[in-house]
Amino acid sequence: MKTLFYLLVAFGLIAFIYWIGWGSLKAEKSDLVLLNEEVGSLERISSIAPPIRRDFTLVNKSDSEIIIAKVYTDCSCLFSSIPSPDGNNLTFGLPKEVFTRPIGTVVKKREEVKMSFEFRPGGLSPGFKQYAVFVETKNKLITKVPITVEIVR
C-alpha cells in the first residue's frame, strides 16, 4: 500500500512539473548557428590591455527566414554590434534601457549575418572569466556566443 502511495505521489509530481512547462525533454535550439566556436576564446589578456574586437558569423540553418529581435551581453565589459535593416550598425551590451530597442534584422534561409563583439578588460580582476553574447530571435530562441578569457595583471 505504501509503495502504491509513493508511486502515485511520484507520478503526480512528474505530471505537475510537466504541466507547468518544465517537462520538455528536448530543449528547443535556435536555427541561428555560430560558424566558428573558437572566436570567443581570448586566452590571456592584461587587465590594462586595450579593447579587443572580434568578428563572428551566424548562419540560418532553417528552411525559413529568422528575425533577430534582441542582442545582449552578460557583462558591462562586453558589447556586440549587428547590422540593422537600414544598414547602420547597432551596438548592444547589458540588457539596460539604453540598449533596449527593436532590431528586426532578417536572416533569410541558409544565409549568414556578420556580427562583432568588443571586450574591454579595463579594471577587471585577475582570473578566468566566462561571458557571452546572446542573440534572441523573434520566436524567443537564443543563440549563445561564448567568450572565455584569463585576465592577468
**CATH code of 119's domain:** 2.60.40.10
C-alpha cell at 5: 502511495
Domain assignment of residue 2, yes or no? no
Query: Does 12 fall in a domain?
Result: no
pLDDT tens digits, 91-128: 888 877 666 677 888 899 999 999 999 999 988 899 99
Residue 81 lies in a domain: yes
Coarse DSSP helix, strand, coil percentages of the chain, rounded to the nearest 5 percent: 15, 45, 40
In a domain, 13, yes or no: no
What 3-state class would DSSP assign to 80?
strand
CA triple 46-93-102, angle to 5 deg:
160
What's phi and psi for 129, nearest 5 deg? -130, 150
**Domain limits for position 103:** 28-152
For the segment 53-60, the average pLDDT, to the nearest whole number, is 94
